[in-house]
Structure 1
Amino acid sequence: MKGIFQQGIFKWLIPAIAGFVLITALYLLMQNTMPKYAGRVPFLLLLFIFDWLILKNIVVLLKKCGSITRRLFIVLWWSPLAVLLLFLLGTSVFPLQSMDKFWRIYLPGIALMAYLAKIIMLIPLLPVFLLQIKARVTGFFFGKTPATSGKSILFLRRMGIFIGSLAFAGLLIGSTIWVYKFKIHSVSLQIEELPDALEGLRIVQLSDLHLGSWMSAAPLQRAIDKVNALNPDIVVFTGDMVNYSSAEVKGFGNILAQVRAPLGVYAVLGNHDYGDYTSWKTPEDKEENMNDLIDFYKSIGWKLLRNSTEVISIDSARLLMAGVENWSATARFKRYGDMAKTMEGVTYGDFNILLSHDPTHWDAEVLENYRGFDLTLSGHTHGMQLGIEALGMKWSPARYMYKHWAGLTIQGNRNGRDNYLYVNRGLGHIAYPGRVGILPEITLITLARKD
């Protein structure tokens, strides 16, 4: 009997069955407690396979190291997966809003950084995996397994370790330095038949503060000082004030109340503001959370537009400011917005601005039915907080998820006046606690008459 269990198939079968039982139990637990996150459980299984395949290839580089060094490396290698597993288990017992910021933000954030580095590490290892697959297939059909070692294989494995370490170092810098390196993006819009009263109007846009991710209020103070130094006429905020609950605004109200704009500060809600990403004991608790957030906006003097509009009179000109609740063209995000309600009985002004958190709304509905809006302002994408914007290059993984993921887009209007969409890269962060290449943004938009 002992000999049977020492056979190769049982060495793999027993751990596989145990792992399957564990994953199934965890999935059922998440379905009962936080069904929104249950889909992440099979993803952990994929991460395990991913980790194992890479570790199997690079651990051979540690043969000349001492046993303590090898064991330490293996423990560190599996730590990110263990952290994500414990985090997922913890959120099924403790609501996210009750967790300390370090446990809720930086611990899973470091695990995410490790996996991003491992994905980079995978690039030079792909040829190694292909050679190993070829060797297995050849051995199975012809009984002769080609060698999968040599200087070239060793070089690729070392290169994987090198670029993976380099990527992790960059992500660490992104989470300590670039995360609060605020960048001002200045845009001038050339508008046909713009009234004289609106010539030179300065609009500052902020988006995606995600206050629950800020470990200190000091960087936010620097950002608001930069906003006020721009001397805006109007300031707008395009959603995602918090991550999970209104409790995250504590300690930031006195700073946000310092925003100065003579024509007002206007805001809309983002997908994270509704409390949909954590568990609540009762529906009443979730409703109370929303009411607390609305009260917060009132306390700092920001006008929250919830499927509503505001007409701003500037001398003889009328500027229409409309704000729609979160409206997404994708099924992943709940749709609270109602443009018909927003525009009921409303006539367009001399210049018309729509605040809509998710940029997919622009193509899906605004351009189709509400082309009277000269400018739509959105956020949501964060530019994935990762990418390249230098030397004429503009790339981010966000481009594979969003048609419009950062910056200005122009669409010709049927009446000869252009429609503009501007997507702000966000001031805060979530998931990965940093920024690499896509810096936190403050947008200054200036209106000018088109000659």
Structure 2
Amino acid sequence: MNKIAVLIISLLLFLSSYYVGSKILTLLEKFLKFKWPVLFWMIFSLLTLSTCLTFLLFDKNVGAFVGKLGSYWFAFLLTALVVFGLTGVFYRIASKLMPLSDQNETLITLGALLFILLFIGYGFWQGQAIKTAHYQVNIDKRAKSDKKNLRAVLISDVHLGYINDEKKFEKIVTKINALHPDIVLISGDLFDGNYEALQEPQKIIKELNRLNANYGTYLCWGNHDAGETFKKMKALVAKTDITLLEDEIAIVEDTFLIAGRKDSRPIGSQDGKRQSIEKQLKAAREDLPVIILDHQPSTINEYGGNVDLIVSGHTHQGQVFPFNLVTNAYFTVDYGYYRKENVAPQVVVSSGVGVWGPPMRVGTQSEIVAIDIKLK
């Protein structure tokens, strides 16, 4: 990001902070007789600075404390900006229809602040909770190994960084192993765009190697697995037992075929552009079940009837209401199981196991996906 963009975004964040801070300071002075506005603005400025450092230094490590503080403050600031803005509009409209006093405006602002605190409190809690979604997929092909059933465990959008750290990833790996997978699929955005945000990369390597599946773990890149520190991300994966597929195909023990894609719209470099795998698929063995790892579900129409299952992520199902309405309108499928007119391919889109941006979820869930595949 160039310096002008950094300055503009920083200015917008501080202006937003001033708007939100003014509302809160008014309440503090009115109800608690608060008399230290300079101290208040110093604290608000430091909190906003932590957000600027966290989100604008894409290739630096600002430390776990500052990174977490900046992320949570961003969630509060964004929510407060929207809610205070909407209540302000409501007050101006209502004041034209009926007489309203300054006391009415203060009470409306107080109610808005209480709503903000409840909203983000629930969102923070929900963002850390991890549920398991289950799907049954039938594929009309026979594996050479005569295996009739296959359990694939899918995760996407881990977004390893300040919020989704080593401790959270350890919990994720433990939950995956408890599902006794035949294969683990990671459909992109393993990283949050900044490798340096990892505080203990060796622990991430250890946890990735702890994934326990009969046929191993397969990974494709997402749009955040890119940028200035991409080579370090790739080097970390190379130190693990994970099979990275960059527009490549792998035949897994005569049982099924897996293809993994580079992201269609990465945020920065991914060592070359996405390449077509159409020829590879045509040359591949048509008798085996074909699974595609492709981060963004906007690409599902690229694949034909020779593909049996596509697994994706990316959308987070909007992550925070009402953005789930936006993703639902934009994507053919933004979450769950999808199959067009009962013909291949089938699609499963995960809402993601991590969070991005504001570390909260409202109306969506962080999830691990268990896909039970029944073969012919």
In which range does the TM-score fall when normalised by the shorter chain?
A: 0.7 to 0.9
Deviation at 1:387, TM superposition (A): 4.2
Deviation at 1:377, TM superposition (A): 0.8
The corresponding residue for 1:385 is 319
1:103 aligns with 2:66: yes
Which of 132, 142, 155 is the aligned partner of 1:184? Answer: 132
The answer (yes or no) to whether the contact 2:317–2:351 under 8 Å persists in 1 is yes
**1:57 and 1:251, CA in 2 relative to 1: closer, same or farther beyond 3 A?**
closer
1:311 aligns with 2:251: yes
The corresponding residue for 2:83 is 120
The corresponding residue for 1:355 is 293
The corresponding residue for 1:445 is 371
Larger Cα-atom Rg: 1
Deviation at 1:400, TM superposition (A): 5.5
Q: Distance in 2 between matches of 1:342 and 1:69?
A: 69
Q: Distance in 1 between matches of 2:367 and 2:249?
A: 26
Aligned amino acid, residue 70 of structure 2: L
Alignment of 1:73-222 (within 5 A): 80-85=47-52, 91=57, 96-130=59-93, 149=101, 153-171=105-123, 174=124, 177-192=125-140, 197-214=146-163, 217-222=166-171
Select the structure with the greater relative contact order (CA < 8 A; seq sep ≥ 6): 2
Deviation at 1:240, TM superposition (A): 1.9
Alignment of 1:240-319 (within 5 A): 240-246=189-195, 248=198, 249-274=201-226, 276=227, 278=228, 290=231, 292-314=232-254, 318-319=255-256
The corresponding residue for 1:391 is none
- Listed as ranges, the gaps of 5+ residues in structure 2 are none
Alignment of 1:20-35 (within 5 A): 31=2, 33=3
Partner secondary structure for residue 114 of structure 1: helix
Aligned amino acid, residue 240 of structure 2: I
1:52 aligns with 2:15: no
TM-score between both structures, scaled by the size of structure 1: 0.69
Which of 219, 224, 227 is the aligned partner of 2:176? Answer: 227
Partner secondary structure for residue 295 of structure 2: coil
Deviation at 1:254, TM superposition (A): 1.3
Q: Percent identity?
A: 20
Aligned amino acid, residue 224 of structure 2: H
The answer (yes or no) to whether the contact 2:166–2:203 under 8 Å persists in 1 is yes
The answer (yes or no) to whether the contact 1:240–1:269 under 8 Å persists in 2 is yes
**1:78 and 1:123, CA in 2 relative to 1: closer, same or farther beyond 3 A?**
farther
Deviation at 1:373, TM superposition (A): 1.3
**1:68 and 1:62, CA in 2 relative to 1: closer, same or farther beyond 3 A?**
closer
Moved more, 433-442 or 396-405: 396-405
Q: Distance in 1 between matches of 2:147 and 2:120?
A: 48
Q: Distance in 1 between matches of 2:9 and 2:212?
A: 48
Paired residues, number: 369
Which of 404, 407, 430 is the aligned partner of 2:333? Answer: 404
Deviation at 1:237, TM superposition (A): 1.0
Higher helix share: 1
TM-score between both structures, scaled by the size of structure 2: 0.81
Deviation at 1:252, TM superposition (A): 1.4
Partner secondary structure for residue 283 of structure 2: coil
The corresponding residue for 1:420 is 346
The answer (yes or no) to whether the contact 1:44–1:81 under 8 Å persists in 2 is no
Deviation at 1:65, TM superposition (A): 4.2
Q: Distance in 2 between matches of 1:446 and 1:401?
A: 28
Partner secondary structure for residue 386 of structure 1: coil
Aligned amino acid, residue 348 of structure 2: Y
**1:384 and 1:51, CA in 2 relative to 1: closer, same or farther beyond 3 A?**
farther
RMSD of the TM alignment (CA)?
Answer: 3.8
Deviation at 1:86, TM superposition (A): 5.8
